[in-house]
Amino acid sequence: MRAALIDAPGGPEVLRYGEVPDPVPGPGDVLIEVEAIAVEGGDTLARAEAEPAHFPHIVGYQCGGTVIAVGQDVSSVAVGDRVVGVELDGSHAELRVVPEAFCWAVPGSLSVPEAACVPIAFATAHDCLFEFGRLQRGEVALVHAGAGGVGVAAIQLAKRAGARVLATASSAERLERLVALGLDDGIDYTTADFAEEVRRLTDGHGADVVVDSVGTTLPGSLRCLAYRGRCVTVGDAGRHRGEPLDISTLRANNQTLAGYFLGAELFTGTRARQLVTDLLDEVAQGTLRVVIDQSFPLSEAAAAHAYIESRRAFGRVLLVP
């Protein structure tokens, strides 16, 4: 099969398009003929910082396609089913093996490219807001990187739950496009101190829940938390590790800082798996919306990664084998 490979970590230019052996499903595995690959922020970080057991290495978390073989004891999907699957690596390829537990059937009315954008972004956003952030109707939610995959999902979910939704992005134009998804107030972080803006927009109250996928923004996220506010850190899209964080300020206002990783939730029980199933159904029904910016051929994975890192993308970027 053909795949986008790396021989060492680095910038987008380390990705090359080459031939590798076809993967073989083992017991409990599903072999997918890939139709669409949603490039996650974590994929670009994995490419830049990968420490796999061997090279060449195929990065990538999430893809959708058609089942062409199953291993022993697989019962929830069959050959010919359309599915979306996630794993820690291997998505940037024509074929991909995933465990059955990390594989979901695509609802009939949903396209495979749309489905390929759902599990990681939407389940992460949902858990950050509700399972760990405990967001309630009438509260204020701040979503960092609002134009990214998790951001687009979180804005819709928070608005639907009756929250006032604030988000950061790198331009007024990107923020304006988020209004149709439920954004109440946008903050251009290139021209304003977002923590001060959150305080100003909320008359000093602050944000009850912050979804922080950037990492370098954590000091400001804690600074704009409301009394008993909850900040959930979910990534390092800022590309640079932040300074050591002083969390002693949380005590005086009974605030909470939590970390989140969807993979851990999928490994430890059935709740998160059912959540992904439900979210796929909701996208299929049109109550939640996937936003796809553009698609690149798999052979141009380097260009797709570079485009994402340019911060010009709005929503998800796809690779198509």
Helix (H) or strand (E) holding 123: helix 119-126
Give the mean model confidence (pLDDT) for residues 199-226: 97
pLDDT, one tens digit per residue, over 239-281 is 556 567 888 889 999 999 999 999 999 999 899 999 999 999 9
**Do the beta carbons of residue 202 and residue 310 sit within 8 Å?**
no
Q: Mean pLDDT for the chain? A: 95
Cβ proximity of 284 and 56 under 8 Å: no
CB atoms within 10 A of CB 3: 27
**Would you say residue 51 has pLDDT above 90?**
no
- Are 41 and 235 spatial neighbours (Cβ–Cβ below 8 Å)? yes
Question: Rounded to whole angstroms, how far apart are CA atoms 222 and 153?
Answer: 22
| Cis? peptide before 56, omega within 30° of 0 | yes
Beta carbons of 134 and 140 less than 8 angstroms apart: no
- What class has domain 2-117+291-320? alpha beta
Strand runs labelled E in 80-238:
82-86, 95-99, 103-105, 140-143, 164-169, 185-188, 207-212, 225-233
Average pLDDT (202-208) is 98
Q: Output 75-79 pairs: Cβ under 8 A, ≥24 positions apart.
A: 75/100, 76/100, 76/103, 76/105, 77/30, 77/103, 77/105
CATH class of 120-263: alpha beta
Q: Provide the residue ranges of all domains of the chain, joining segments of one domain with +.
A: 2-117+291-320, 120-263
pTM for this model (two decimals): 0.96
Q: Average pLDDT, stretch 302-307?
A: 98
Same fold, 2-117+291-320 and 120-263: no
Asked if pLDDT for residue 238 goes beyond 80, the answer is: no
pLDDT at residue 134 tops 90: yes
3-state secondary structure 38-89: EECHHHHHHHHHCCCCCCCECCCCEEEEEEEEECCCCCCCCCCCEEEEECCC
User: Tell me, what's the pLDDT at 235?
Assistant: 85
pLDDT more than 90, % of the chain = 93
Element spanning 155, H or E:
helix 149-160
Of the listed ranges 43-52, 59-68, 149-158, 252-261, the one predicted with least confidence:
43-52
Give Cβ neighbours of residue 268 (< 8 Å, ≥ 6 apart).
none
The answer to whether the Cα torsion of 226, 229, 231, 232 is positive or negative is negative
Instruction: Output the furthest CA–CA distance in the chain (Å, rounded).
Output: 59
Question: What's the confidence (pLDDT) of residue 239?
Answer: 55
Cα angle, residue 112 at apex, residues 106 and 115 outer, rounded to 5° = 65
Q: What's the rounded Cα separation, in Å, for the pair 36 and 9?
A: 24
Q: Note the pLDDT of residue 293.
A: 97
Q: Which token pair is 107?
A: 């609802």
Average pLDDT over residues 72-95: 97
Element of type H or E holding 18? strand 16-19
Overall average pLDDT of the 170-177 stretch: 95
Q: Output the six-digit token pair for 138.
A: 């009438």
